[in-house]
Structure 1
Amino acid sequence: MAAGARVLVVDDEPDIRQTVKDILEDEGYVVDLAESAAAAREARRRQRPDVVLLDIWMPDLDGISLLREWSERGGLPCPVIMISGHGTVETAVEATRLGAWDFIEKPISLAKLLLVVGHALEAGRLKRENEGLRRQLPAPTELVGSGKALQALRAQVEKIAGHDTGVLVQGEPGTGKETLARALHERSARRAGPFVTVAAGAIAREHAALALFGAEDANGVQHGLVEQANGGTLFLDEVADLDPELQLRLSSVIERRALIRCGGHEAAVIDARVIAATAHDLEALVAAGRFREELYYQLKVVPLTMPPLRERGDDIPELLRYYADYFANRDTLPYRNFPVAVQNRLRHYAWPGNLRELRNLVQRLLVLGSASDVGLDEVELALGSASPTSTAASMSAAGTPRVDFTLPLREAREQFERAYLLHQLNEAGGSVGKLAKAVGMERTHLYRKLKDLDIDPRQGGDGAR
């Protein structure tokens, strides 16, 4: 049972409403009551329920008609369980067609009530967890690795998971910031609730407010991603990509724990933990006026850093085994061993693409190889180098700039990213689509990164500005 899950009970009989409320509250549920269809609409508008118990026979509008109304105006808000004292087969068929989850007959059985509500909650949780999420290779829900850096990070996670404070996860692209956020979620009291990802850079700007905060009008309510995270965790992936207006609205939501949907006039309660992630220096963006200071401090109650893979050499053997096993099971590929010589080579590789690059490398080696052991020559070919030279040296040989190690970290990182993307753009023949696949980035993020680094893909790799 999901502690604190919200159940809306809609029934015109006061005794039944109160009896069901008492039973569910004894089990730890939060219960809202509505005596009519109009009251049910208002209760749903105020806050999204996790389950609705809906009586079929009511004086103003029957439950089937209300179910049809919800179904035809943006879909049901959550699993709906019908309550009936004298339903017919035709009524049951119609309710099922409209999406009703189950039926409970009057007089209500305590055992069946708790069983059906529990099953409906689980089904709703699974559905909500997938709403609005971008399609991607599922990240592990555990932090893989036994090195000192990961041990220290795990200790931090265990310490703060039980608190509901905001967390800001910082780290280079591809380091596994979402995995860290999921680890926090799985160890928290909200683990049974949804984990909703907001990929800020992947949402079209003209639809961003609607996608995040939802909408309402005379025809009904559309719940946005923020509201879908109620009872669970809202993960803001690359929060620096939010435009100023969205930053302001998000700051208000976090401060007030409530939001006003687009087109709405009254606030809806929000109960979600916020975990944000970024590869940018938010403090510098605040100083430059490109990120709201109040939002920065709201998010950075507890800062965590996901270390780059080049600093996690001791974790490489374990990560290789993990992803080899993962792809063997998911894609029905033959499992392949990584001998000590291969592990040693990869332990000393720079991993500019971090975990994302390692994951793609393992998948490629399992797809293209046939022998039970991965060969060193295969690895060199997959890495795109004939000899174990450093990434920076390889780029210089290809005609792209060498990184100046005398620069401050931020400038050196930008120089390296520009050199890396120029090299990969050349390899992709100037195709941004191929470049996105090669470096493991979504096109929206990639276009912004190229713009930030003053690289014009239309000019081709060699002609980039």
Structure 2
Amino acid sequence: MPYDVLIVDDEADIRALLSGILRAEGYETRVAADSDSALAAMDERIPHVVFLDILLLDGLELLDKINNLYPKIQVVMISGHGNDVLSAMKRGAYDFIEKPFKGGHIILIVERAMEISKLRRELLELRNKAIDSSDFVGNSFVINHLRQIIEKVAPTNSRIMITGPYGSGKEMTARMIHTMSRRSNGAFVVFNAARIRKERMEIELFGIEMSGEPRVGALEEAHGGTLYLNEVADMPREIQGRILRVLTDQQFERVGGVKRIKVDVRIISSTAQNLTRLISSGLFREDLFNRLSVVPIYVPPLAEHREDIPVLVEYFIKQIALHVGIMPRMIGDGAMAAIQAHHWPGNVRQLRNNIERLLIMSREDKHNDPISFDLLPSEITDCFPHTISEPDQHIMALPIREARELFEREYLTAQIRRFSGNISRTAEFIGMERSALHRKLKFLGL
């Protein structure tokens, strides 16, 4: 993806010389002869880097305007001597070049400016993602299959629709696709339709122009990179119509604006809702679905890859202990069996939250002792058979055969769930022959 460089100088030969040097290295360049033309060019599309003539009639004033309106742009000053350069640097210029120009030095400055922009963007993303950032953890068949799909589609520029339940890892999938794509040096912008009020959605997505001062939206911010439309099903139909037009020609107007803004963006969408049902009920546009879902990807719930839970738990313990500043703890075998058998309706996100709670609530205990079954919250242990306690004393009224059958039924149900319905692995763990386990399950009506 070529980076966009704007050259602002009142001398045509300087504009042509710099443009030629940068274009030869694959950069996309635009030129402006004065401040008004420069602002109009930035209004049309925000560049990554601006070369600005410090001797322009109002060069320093233009520098101030760029820093106020477009703080993410790196500005490199052209020519100038002594106090002019020093003043520009103090006012926020990234660097400067002097005549006569050296092509290698100019390219080096642009590369460094882009690297600074990338590092700032990555730092912001790391702060936003907090401790949720990671690659997929686990080596189950379904996770390996998902990785293979991501590796195939990432290098393309195709639009992708990611579906799957809440907390399963849809945003992580989108981030992996962006990281492996040719746009990885560009921005990855998250637009979460479920968290934005409907009356603000158009402004946040397309930007706004008020009193001649533009404010960019998510689409412009993602120029040259990837826009991730999270929970796209929550978008009102009027916004869906505008998105459809953007997909057609990659152009739009800001709210309150009249100029057409052209962007180069890859769009990845996701939802946990049933879009087919929403289309049938008229809540989601079928033509938009067809445009967004060129390549569909399904992210499975945690219940479909329970064998990854021990590895996930170990990973989360190390990650949370590092970020929260508490000692890591081991999970005992009984506790791990219960965690693996739980149905986890909130999927990987719910699992991580529970592990964090466990570490915090047990931090006063001896950190060398593993976390035992009795320290788990009741929402996890309720699916496991219990020893006799106050609520379970009804079992005392049963004959030993019926009590044993009750325990065996609960125990085997939990173990089969733990191993995702795999009878062979369940039989191996509990120490029974596979055929004997089949007979037992049939006898218990399971």
Does the TM-score normalized on the shorter chain lie above 0.5? yes
Partner residue of 1:88 out of 62, 70, 82: 82
Question: What's 2:372 paired with?
Answer: 376
Residues 151 and 384 of structure 1: is their aligned pair in 2 closer, same or farther, counting only changes over 3 Å? closer
Question: What's 2:342 paired with?
Answer: 349
Contact 1:134 1:199 (C-alpha < 8 Å) held by counterparts? no
Structure 2: distance between partners of 1:236 and 1:147: 28
Structure 2: distance between partners of 1:227 and 1:36: 24
Partner residue of 1:322 out of 301, 311, 315: 315
Structure 2: distance between partners of 1:253 and 1:132: 25
Deviations 1:182-223 (A, max 9, x none): 111111001111110001121122222111101235533211
Partner residue of 2:101 out of 97, 108, 111: 108
Residues 19 and 339 of structure 1: is their aligned pair in 2 closer, same or farther, counting only changes over 3 Å? farther
Q: Which moved more, 1:125-134 or 1:149-158?
A: 125-134
Amino acid at match of 2:224: G
Where 1:234 maps in the other structure, the secondary structure is strand
Amino acid at match of 1:35: A
Amino acid at match of 1:80: V
Structure in which a larger fraction of residues adopt helix? 2
Structure 1: distance between partners of 2:65 and 2:250: 29
Partner residue of 1:78 out of 73, 86, 95: 73
Contact 1:4 1:28 (C-alpha < 8 Å) held by counterparts? yes
Question: What's 2:26 paired with?
Answer: 28
Structure 2: distance between partners of 1:211 and 1:133: 21
Give the CA deviation at 1:375: 2.3
Give the CA deviation at 1:120: 1.4
Structure 2: distance between partners of 1:42 and 1:133: 33
1:13 maps onto 2:7 in alignment: no
Structure 1: distance between partners of 2:272 and 2:187: 24
Deviations 1:51-75 (A, max 9, x none): 11111112xx422111122334x34
Contact 2:162 2:296 (C-alpha < 8 Å) held by counterparts? yes
Residues 98 and 382 of structure 1: is their aligned pair in 2 closer, same or farther, counting only changes over 3 Å? farther
Residues 119 and 378 of structure 1: is their aligned pair in 2 closer, same or farther, counting only changes over 3 Å? farther
Contact 2:178 2:226 (C-alpha < 8 Å) held by counterparts? yes
Contact 1:7 1:29 (C-alpha < 8 Å) held by counterparts? yes
Contact 2:334 2:373 (C-alpha < 8 Å) held by counterparts? no
Amino acid at match of 1:71: N
Structure 2: distance between partners of 1:71 and 1:97: 12
Where 1:103 maps in the other structure, the secondary structure is strand
Question: What's 2:232 paired with?
Answer: 239
Residues 264 and 229 of structure 1: is their aligned pair in 2 closer, same or farther, counting only changes over 3 Å? same
Contact 1:55 1:82 (C-alpha < 8 Å) held by counterparts? yes
TM-score by length of 2: 0.80
Q: Which moved more, 1:276-285 or 1:365-374?
A: 365-374
1:205 maps onto 2:198 in alignment: yes
Where 1:262 maps in the other structure, the secondary structure is coil
Question: What's 2:222 paired with?
Answer: 229
Structure 1: distance between partners of 2:48 and 2:374: 51
Residues 374 and 351 of structure 1: is their aligned pair in 2 closer, same or farther, counting only changes over 3 Å? farther
Give the CA deviation at 1:294: 1.4
Deviations 1:231-290 (A, max 9, x none): 111001101111111111111111111111112212111111101110000111011000
Contact 1:342 1:374 (C-alpha < 8 Å) held by counterparts? no
Which structure has the greater CA radius of gyration? 2
Deviations 1:55-110 (A, max 9, x none): 1112xx422111122334x34351111112x3332x33442343222222222233
Residues 242 and 131 of structure 1: is their aligned pair in 2 closer, same or farther, counting only changes over 3 Å? farther
Question: What's 1:162 paired with?
Answer: 155
Give the CA deviation at 1:145: 1.2
Where 1:312 maps in the other structure, the secondary structure is helix
Contact 2:189 2:228 (C-alpha < 8 Å) held by counterparts? yes
Question: What's 1:66 paired with?
Answer: 62
Contact 1:7 1:30 (C-alpha < 8 Å) held by counterparts? yes
Contact 2:66 2:73 (C-alpha < 8 Å) held by counterparts? no
Give the CA deviation at 1:4: 1.0
Give the CA deviation at 1:23: 1.9
Amino acid at match of 1:232: G
Give the CA deviation at 1:17: 1.8
TM-score by length of 1: 0.77
The count of aligned residue pairs is 383
Contact 1:215 1:222 (C-alpha < 8 Å) held by counterparts? yes
Residues 378 and 255 of structure 1: is their aligned pair in 2 closer, same or farther, counting only changes over 3 Å? farther
Structure 1: distance between partners of 2:382 and 2:277: 39
Partner residue of 1:37 out of 35, 38, 41: 35
Contact 2:44 2:260 (C-alpha < 8 Å) held by counterparts? yes
Question: What's 2:422 paired with?
Answer: none
Question: What's 2:113 paired with?
Answer: 120
Residues 309 and 384 of structure 1: is their aligned pair in 2 closer, same or farther, counting only changes over 3 Å? closer
Identity %: 35
Residues 28 and 374 of structure 1: is their aligned pair in 2 closer, same or farther, counting only changes over 3 Å? farther
Q: Which moved more, 1:256-265 or 1:214-223?
A: 214-223
Structure 2: distance between partners of 1:236 and 1:268: 19
Contact 2:174 2:228 (C-alpha < 8 Å) held by counterparts? yes
Give the CA deviation at 1:19: 2.1
